[in-house]
Structure 1
């Protein structure tokens, strides 16, 4: 087998694995970013009194949360 063919095949495999690793790291970073945003949102909502409304707009997403009404007693 010609060494040039082997080198070409190895380089193609390395390139493919590098692209795969890049996509995995990019997707993992997006997941982490979303987790942090949700944690921050949850922390802010926890601090609000009953009857409050939290509206957060960030680029492509919009979140509106109403924290229990003042008249609710927490019954199930």
Structure 2
């Protein structure tokens, strides 16, 4: 399935499986844009997505948009 990660940079679409974890999605974005996973905060429907949960856990399906916010500091 395809999901889109929207950020200040531009939307990026990835081919993923429902069983992929949020950490795996962050790794895809790291490989594409070079932003470390620790700086990424992914959100869907106002919920911060936890690294160890799967896309399926959050009800994310084909065509879903996920929003990326960058952590400042830390």
TM more than 0.5:
no
The structure whose RCO (Cα within 8 Å, separation 6+) is larger is: 2
Short-chain TM bin: under 0.3
| Structure whose CA Rg is larger | 1
Q: Normalized per residue, which structure has more helix?
A: 1
Normalization by structure 1: what TM-score? Answer: 0.24
TM-score, scaled relative to structure 2: 0.25
Higher strand share: 2
